[in-house]
Amino acid sequence: MKSTKQKLALMLVGTSLLGASVGAVAPAFAGTAYSTVGVFTVSGINYSNQAYIITSPGNISAVSQINSTSGSVAAGWMGARGRLFNAAGTLIQESQTSYTSVNATSISVPTVRTGTGTWNSYGVTYSWTGSSYTPYYTFRSPNQTS
């Protein structure tokens, strides 16, 4: 038979684990949530990409960003498309793909919407190979509530 101290310790561990698991899946409220940074190389140029979501009460902006970590690249060599998903993983809205119009080190492309709910950003970025564009999907951002 377990002592009172052992029972109390088990209850505390169980409560802590429950709290940690609930906290791990709960969405953040108004603010900004960033995905993990992705890294890749295309035609000898090093890039990183990331998705993030910005919310405030009733407003949502899902952003995709690509950066050249090798310095400035020629106009048109990078592109991105912002994509907004609901918490169930359904694509709700996306921007058109935009490309750099001048030599640049990065481009960020949003898609903006009004509404309430729980959302995340999962973008796509593009890099020029010299003959075509290669898509690189970002990691998905954490959920954010508007």
Sheet holding 91-94, edge to edge: 91-94, 83-86, 118-121, 144-145
Residue 16 lies in a domain: no
Host domain of residue 137: 31-145
Residue 17 lies in a domain: no
**Full-model pTM:** 0.79
Reduced to 3 states (helix: H, G, I; strand: E, B; else coil), residue 97 is coil
Could you tell me the CATH number of the domain that includes residue 136?
A: 2.60.40
How many domains are contained in the chain? Answer: 1
Residue 22 lies in a domain: no
Q: Are 113 and 124 in contact (CB under 8 A)?
A: no
Question: Long-range contacts made by residues 2-8, C-beta under 8 angstroms, separation at least 24?
Answer: none
Residue 19 lies in a domain: no
Over the stretch 57-107, which tens digit does the pLDDT of each residue have?
A: 999 999 999 999 999 999 999 999 999 999 999 999 999 999 999 999 999
Helix (H) or strand (E) holding 17: helix 4-25
Residue 26 lies in a domain: no
